[in-house]
Amino acid sequence: KFEGVKYAFRLEQNTKYLLNIIKMKLELLVFRSIQWLFFLRLYCVVSLDVELINSGPNVIGIPIFYKAVLQVPPDAGEGHLYRFIAEDRANPQYSYDSKFSNATTVTWNFTYHRAVTAHTSLLVYQKTSLFFPNKLVATNDTSVVITDHVEVSITPYQGSCHDVKDIEYVSTNCTTELIAHFNDPGGYITNHSTVDYFWMINDQSTYGPNSEPNISIDTSVEGIYNIGLVFSAYVDDGNFRVLNGYKSLPLHAKVPVSDVNVTGEMWLEHGALLDLTVDCKGSPPWRYCWNVIMGSYNKTDNESCDFPTVTTECHFYVSRYLHNISSYTVLVVLDNDVDHKVVAVTVNVYNVDRKPQLSTVIVPVTCSIIAVIFVVFGIGYFIQTRNRLAIEVADFDFNQQDADPQTFHQRLRSEFLEFWKDFTKKFSHKPQAYNQVD
């Protein structure tokens, strides 16, 4: 009995101990869950975007300017602190650290002293709390090329006379102005140097040195003008040096599209085929296309070809069958790199009431009359033959000697002569005395 009470007491103690352990485990699990939820809310969010741009390419000794813009959504809240850390992989290595601030746009610059392609990586951190590490919210990277010469470009300009869309093609109808540009981020070269320009045309004519970045040349003759530009900048920023650059440009002077002529029949009977011929003048090659639009159409001169046909001879045909009786607009688009022409012509399709020809009336009527004559002639011949046979049957002369036998051809000829003789007697105009008695 005593042993039973002792066993029951131990069981009760063990049960309380197990319940306490389960309670502690549950409390710890709830606490860990709250921690993980806070951690997930803090770190497991969609990263932000950061835009990173640079002012390259540039030349040795000229600062490269970087700009980073963090894209923060409106619902991200206010009061966040961000830190921008940039590092490149050049030798020697350059780095930048903005420290924590509420700024979402930062700028910095690196200056390289040798020709290199520098790859720069950017990390953006958001400050959290003392108990958790700072949160990485955005990353990006960029590359910049450092050269030992200045990047130079040439732009041809023909003013209001012609809008130059491709820098390699100009019109022969206009004077061409050549404008030089060089890469100068932040205006460092402009502010710290004296610049000279040397121009060469077809490796013969030389213009310069010029302090102005532009010259005018005559391109009225069709052909290719090889343009060369030598750029020199004498930099004096405490460390005197000369920066050079070179650029060449093959400039094609072409005659614009002119004298566009569309010939052919503009008024078509319904069922006839549209057949137009298009001719023009200018410099080849030409690109063209055409389209037939039902009804009237007001051209805008901005029409273009999605899939143009290229030709070296401005002579082509427009052919199509027009189904409806209506007015149509034929739209022709021509282009030869320096000019763009849109021509619209109107084509009308009309219906004609077709009257039967005279032969379709005369031939059936004539044939009908001839048929009637043959029928009447046949009937008359039948009646006459029957009467004549009736008389011959009753008139036999047995005392007459038999005639010589005749062939089929001879009998047919005799019968025809006899018929013709009787026929002429019957229709003769001479009067006959039917009352005469023998």
How many angstroms separate the CA atoms of 408 and 410, rounded?
Answer: 5
Rg of the chain on CA atoms, in Å: 55
Within a domain: residue 238? Answer: yes
- Closest by Cα among 172, 271, 296 to 224: 172
Determine what percent of the chain is predicted with pLDDT higher than 70.
79
Q: Is residue 108 a contact partner of residue 86, using CB atoms and an 8 Å limit?
A: yes
pLDDT of residue 186: 75
Residue 366 in domain? no
For residues 74 and 335, the model is more confident at 335
The answer to whether residue 383 sits within a structural domain is no
In this structure, is residue 132 part of a structural domain? yes
β-strands 176-182, 214-217 pairing: antiparallel
Quick check: helix, strand or coil at residue 160? helix
Instruction: Grade residue 122 by pLDDT with cuts at 50, 70 and 90.
Output: very high
What is the rounded CA–CA span in Å between residue 284 and residue 277? 18
Whether 233 and 186 map to the same domain: the answer is yes
Closest of 279, 275, 294, 289 to residue 346, by C-alpha = 294
* Alpha carbon distances (Å) from 152 to 112, 213, 249: 20, 11, 11
Residue finishing a domain among 294, 325, 350: 350
Check pLDDT > 70 for residue 428. Answer: no
Among the listed ranges 123-127, 246-250, 397-401, 422-426, which one has the minimum average pLDDT value?
397-401
Looking at the predicted structure, is the pLDDT value of residue 143 above 50?
yes
Q: At how many degrees (to 10) do helices 359-394 and 408-426 cross?
A: 100
**Res 184: pLDDT:** 85
Provide the pairing of β-strand 241-254 with 223-235: antiparallel
CB 230 within 8 Å of CB 244: yes
Q: Is residue 278 part of a domain?
A: yes
Task: Evaluate if residue 79 carries a pLDDT over 90.
Answer: no
Banded pLDDT at 46 (limits 50, 70, 90): very low
In a domain, 379, yes or no: no
CA distances from 7 to 4, 15, 427 (A): 5, 12, 165
Does 159 lie in the same domain as 139?
Answer: no
With respect to residue 248, please indicate whether it lies within any of the assigned structural domains.
Answer: yes
The Cα 178–Cα 206 span in angstroms is 14
Looking at the structure, do residues 337 and 305 belong to the same domain, yes or no?
A: yes
Which residues, other chains included, contact 379 with Cβ-Cβ below 8 Å and sequence gap of 6+? none
- The structure tokens listed for 415 are 């019968």
Range of the domain at 135: 49-147
Whether residues 232 and 311 share a domain: the answer is no
Of 19-23, 58-62, 133-137, 139-143, which range is least confident?
A: 19-23
Residue 137 has pLDDT above 70, yes or no: yes
Domain at 59, CATH number: 2.60.40.1930
Sheet of 273-281, strand order: 258-264, 273-281, 315-321
Indicate if the pLDDT at residue 279 is higher than 90.
yes
As a whole number, mean pLDDT of residues 115-141 equals 86
pLDDT at 384: 72
At 18, list the tokens.
């197990």
- Most confident among 43-52, 101-110, 407-416 (mean pLDDT): 101-110
279 shares its domain with 234? no
pLDDT tens digits, one per residue of 2-22: 455 555 656 666 676 677 777
Gap between the Cα atoms of 203 and 228, Å rounded: 8
Position 324 pLDDT exceeds 60: yes
Phi and psi torsions of 173, nearest 5°: -85, -5
Q: How far apart are CA 145 and CA 58, in angstroms?
A: 7
Structure tokens at 301: 């001169």
Which 8-state DSSP code applies to residue 159?
Answer: G
- CATH code of the domain containing 218: 2.60.40.10
Burial of 411 (0-12, 13-18, 19+ CB in 10 A): exposed
Query: What is the spatial distance between Cα 238 and Cα 94, in angstroms, rounded to a whole number?
Result: 23
Same-domain pairing of 213 and 236: yes
pLDDT score for 131: 66
Do residue 181 and residue 270 come from a single domain? Answer: no
The model's confidence at residue 23, banded by pLDDT at 50, 70 and 90, is: confident
**8-state DSSP, 158:** B
- pLDDT of 15 reads 72
Residues 249 and 263 in one domain: no
Provide the pLDDT confidence category of residue 239 given band limits of 50, 70 and 90.
Answer: confident
Reported as a pLDDT band with limits 50, 70 and 90, residue 210 is confident
Lowest mean pLDDT among 118-122, 152-156, 322-326, 359-363: 359-363
Task: State yes or no: pLDDT of 204 exceeds 50.
Answer: yes
Q: Do 282 and 344 lie in a common domain?
A: yes
Q: Which residue, among 244, 239, 246, has the nearest Cα to 61 in the 3D structure?
A: 239
pLDDT above 80: residue 202: yes
What percentage of the chain carries pLDDT values higher than 90? 44
Query: What is the count of structural domains for the chain?
Result: 4
Domain boundary among 254, 277, 306: 254
Domain stops at, among 147, 171, 204 = 147
CA 209 remoteness from chain centre: 45
* Single pTM value for the model: 0.60
Residue 363 lies in a domain: no
In this structure, the answer to whether residues 13 and 83 fall within a common structural domain is: no
Q: Do 249 and 266 belong to one domain?
A: no
pLDDT for 434 equals: 41
pLDDT (tens digit per residue) in 398-412: 555 555 566 666 766
Please list the helix, strand and coil fractions of the chain in percent, rounded to the nearest 5, in that order: 25, 40, 35
91, 142: one domain: yes
